[in-house]
Amino acid sequence: MMIPFYKMHGLGNDFVVMDERTERFGLTPARIAALSDRHRGIGCDQFVVLRPACRAGADVFVRFFNADGSESGACGNASRCVADLLRQQGGGASSVLQTQAGLLAARIDAPGEVTVDMGPPALGWRDVPLAREIDTLHLPIDGDPAAASMGNPHVTFFMTDLPDPYEAGPALERHPLFPERANVGFARIMSRGALRLRVWERGSGLTLACGSGACATVVNAVRRGLVDRTCRVDMDGGSLTITWRAADDHVLMTGPAVTSFVGTVDLDGYPS
């Protein structure tokens, strides 16, 4: 059962993309986790599945899965990659992605350079979600982090020296305050227009970049008065430009989208 796939990345945050718009491949959580394994599968940070859109105005329904097979409501870097893939397949300069987090409008600024409107952040404690009613700008966790959702839960620590995410990330991801686990961002403010960020992603671990994490970090930094509404976010894999518009509360994310290669894989060798 040889199935085609696309290997793509945004700033090194890499994805396996499979197109199920015409045929289903039996992509169970166990099979997705096995395919995402870097030693025994194709290997990726997140796995992306394309389905026919079922909402008016959308071009494609996009489902995002973490490397452990769990589903995520949003993925910023993968959204840019999907928009660029649609361009490669004959689409226009704009597209609308249907996701679990809502409709995301994407614009091709240049081949391989994409802006995605990630919509407004969710800042209420139920929306993140948190386990109990708490001010999301100051969580009762050592380090005084802030929380926000960009379709998936994010917690941001603002620090002078960035810690080793492998030491701090796993426990914070599963902190009791986060019933759906959390993506954990460690940020250092460099200026009003730039910050440095490393993200431990729930279900995937440390990645070279995190698009939704960059959006959430800028939102939280603006809420604390640390940066301007347009800010460069430097991550291990490169930089994104994030703008949190005051006019409509929407967060715009601009950055690269790259197709590494196209291949096929025999799914019969993976668990169903």
Q: Active-site residues: which are they? A: 75, 210
SS3 74: coil
CA dist., res. 157 & res. 159, Å (int)? 6
Cβ-proximal residues to 87 (8 Å cutoff; 6+ apart), any chain = 93, 95, 108, 111
Contact between residue 150 and residue 101 where contact means Cβ atoms under 8 Å apart: yes
CA dist., res. 154 & res. 270, Å (int)? 32
Cβ-proximal residues to 268 (8 Å cutoff; 6+ apart), any chain = 1
CA dist., res. 222 & res. 190, Å (int)? 14
> Tokens for 192?
């009003």
> Tokens for 126?
């139920």
Secondary structure element (H or E) that encloses residue 257, with its range? none
Nearest to residue 3, comparing CAs of 29, 30, 44, 32?
32
